[in-house]
Amino acid sequence: MPDYAQLAQTLHALCHAETDSVALMATVACELHHAHALSDWTGFYRVVAPELLKIGPYQGGHGCLVIPFSRGVCGAAARTGQAQLVPDVDAFPDHIACASSTRSELVLPVWNGAGKLLGVLDLDSNTPDAFTENDVTQLSRLMASLFHDAV
């Protein structure tokens, strides 16, 4: 489990006064990937058109390039505005296997302070049940503070 207090302190220092969402995503993906031992792929899918996500900054192997809101775990998070905590991706209807090794996933919608959906934060693990409700709570809080002024 990451030390979320330390991660938040580091990210706030690195991202102080940054408003560019892609710059923020790149920094968050890098720091979070190294902080969460069970995350084998850590990154963002950006909203690029109505109902459409496209890959953004990430760490790990390749990801899917385009995901419609109507498909998969990332699409469900974007479509519903709700965190998707998936302990077993094989049990998730319509899961998109960008990597065949993925066993569990956590996806959070990322909003700016004006209520605009910027994209989703996606953590994939080769370990079943790798993510917890604490990850959801801590990462949701962190994303809200970091992306508050993002454009």
25-70 pLDDT, tens per residue? 999 999 999 999 999 999 999 999 999 999 999 999 989 999 999 9
136 band by pLDDT with thresholds 50, 70 and 90: very high
Cite the beta strand spans of 100-139 per DSSP E: 104-111, 117-125
Q: Which domains does the chain have, with CATH numbers?
A: 37-146 (3.30.450.40)
pTM for the model stands at: 0.96
pLDDT score of 95 more than 90: no
Residue with tokens 């569990």: 104
